[in-house]
Amino acid sequence: MSTLAEPLVYLNGAMTPIADAKVSVLDRGFIFGDGIYEVIPIYQRRLFRAKHHMARLFRSLASISIPNPHSEAEWMALIDQVVAAHPADDQMVYLQVTRGVAKRAHAFPADSTPTVFIMTNPIPLPSMAVRAAGVACVSMEDKRWLRCEIKSISLLGNVLAAQNAVDNNAVESIQFRDGFLTEASSSNVWIVKDGVLLGPPKDNLILEGIRYGLIEELCAAHAIPMRVRRIGRDEVFAADEVLLTSATKEVLPVVSLDGKPIGNGTPGPIYAKLYEAYQAAKAAA
């Protein structure tokens, strides 16, 4: 049974109350984590960076050989339908595609129909008080697989990293692989040193956030020097600023790592510039 107040979700061709949205226990998303997802911010009922999210969705599907069940126009229409059914003006859309339902066997089934699920919720943005104070993070070894560039629903490594943060009263776990910065459990990580913003390479060790490209654009537009290169663990601890970016954090300042202050322990000037530029980009979208 569902209540009228429940937001509607999209599942395999139908809009339905979330309580009534059911998939088979044989769905390969449930059995193998065999699927991909997207998280898209919506401001004032408009998708932010929609084209970029669509391009990443298409890349993710192609990278694990799930046939794309919809054209870009169809995807946009489906997302619009879910957004329109929700009362909040600012939302975050979650969409997931799995390889579908099949008898359990690891390799791809000969013919399965992808499962398509779309829901939306109010976007949980950090409060201005959190922004003003900055957030604490903890460091940990990156023990995830070597295909982190795929926005896969197989997120156990990220789940454990997120819980590690919670267990240590931190907002995120900042991960290092072989002594070099990769990313946090569900955010990209940046450092600032001597006025230069540094980001890790966009390779198989991180998910290329849609905010990654946006930060590059904002740096270019606002004359913030930026470089992409491998970043050592010591450099992160010695940085003037550390920033997180994600659909829900936008850009967020890190003021301590493993209990040690970053820079002077308060949000820095490059953060302030990028935050302002981010808000302007939202308003202009």
> Can residue 173 be called a binding residue for ligand PDD (CB under 6 A)?
no
| Segment interacting with ligand PDD, rule: CB under 6 A, options 23-31, 112-120, 241-249, 254-262 | 241-249
Long-range contacts of 265-271 (CB under 8 A, 24+ apart): 265/134, 266/134, 267/131, 267/132, 267/133, 267/134, 267/241, 268/192, 268/240, 268/241, 269/241, 270/192, 270/195, 270/197, 270/224, 270/240, 270/241, 270/243, 271/192, 271/241, 271/243
| Segment interacting with ligand PDD, rule: CB under 6 A, options 117-125, 166-174, 181-189, 233-241 | 181-189
CB of 278 to ligand PDD, least distance (A): 11
Q: Is 11 or 244 the residue whose CB approaches ligand PDD more closely?
A: 244
> Can residue 183 be called a binding residue for ligand PDD (CB under 6 A)?
yes
Judged by CB under 6 A, the number of residues near ligand PDD is 14
| Catalytic choice (22, 151, 249, 260) | 151
> Can residue 175 be called a binding residue for ligand PDD (CB under 6 A)?
no
Q: Is 24 or 279 the residue whose CB approaches ligand PDD more closely?
A: 279
143 is a catalytic site residue: no
> Can residue 191 be called a binding residue for ligand PDD (CB under 6 A)?
no
> Can residue 245 be called a binding residue for ligand PDD (CB under 6 A)?
yes
CA dist 157 → 84, 140, 204, 212, 268 (Å): 34, 12, 15, 21, 30
Please compute Rg for the chain using Cα positions.
19
Residue 69: which of 40, 95, 42, 33 has the closest Cα?
95
Q: Which residues are near ligand PDD by CB under 6 A?
A: 39, 158, 183, 186-188, 207, 209-211, 245-248
